[in-house]
Amino acid sequence: MRFFMTTPTARQVDVGLAILRIAVGIVFLAHGGQKLFQFGLGGVTEGFGQMGIPFPGLTGPLVAIVEFFGGIALVLGLATRLAALFLAVNMLGAMLFVHLPAGFFLPAGVEFALSLFAANLALFFMGPGDFSLDHTISRRQTAV
């Protein structure tokens, strides 16, 4: 019972960050991959236009690229804070332009996008943790 009432150790925080980072990264990798490889950039542009998202010829492909490569970056823990920032902005746009008008609850509401927004903000502020390429690169640079 004590485990649930104590401040986590640094190692536990690192494990928690890795779990969060990898799970969120997989979600974005899958969604970005779907946009790039299933719908194609033309299909994404058309879909963004139909949803009323501004500048769909720019925002559609940009979102697909940010989600796909940002998801990869989160899974690897590489440029984590930058990827998390871009993905949080992406989710802010998704919430404002697509999900918020549909209310809170799924299937079209804001709850899932809000969760991804919050997870990315947490990763932006907390960083990737020790189980990441960012940490490995940082450690090697300080050793030189």
What is the DSSP annotation of 91-140? HHHHIIIIIGGG-SSTTTSSHHHHHHHHHHHHHHHH---SSSHHHHHHHH
What pLDDT, in 10s, does the model give residues 50-61? 999 999 999 999
Confidence of residue 126 (pLDDT cuts 50, 70, 90): very high
Confidence of residue 36 (pLDDT cuts 50, 70, 90): very high
For the question of whether the overall pTM of this predicted structure is more than 0.75, the answer is yes
What pLDDT, in 10s, does the model give residues 64-111? 999 999 999 999 999 999 999 999 999 999 999 999 999 999 999 999
- Residues with Cβ within 8 Å of 90's Cβ and at least 6 positions away in sequence, in order, are 63, 66, 67, 70
User: For residue 139, what are its two tokens?
Assistant: 């450690």
d(CA 24, CA 77): 11
**Average pLDDT of the segment spanning 107-133:** 97
Task: Specify the pLDDT at position 3.
Answer: 76
Cα 11–12–17 angle (5° rounding)?
A: 100
**Is the four-CA dihedral 93, 98, 104, 109 of positive or negative sign?**
negative
Checking if the pLDDT of 25 tops 90, the result is yes
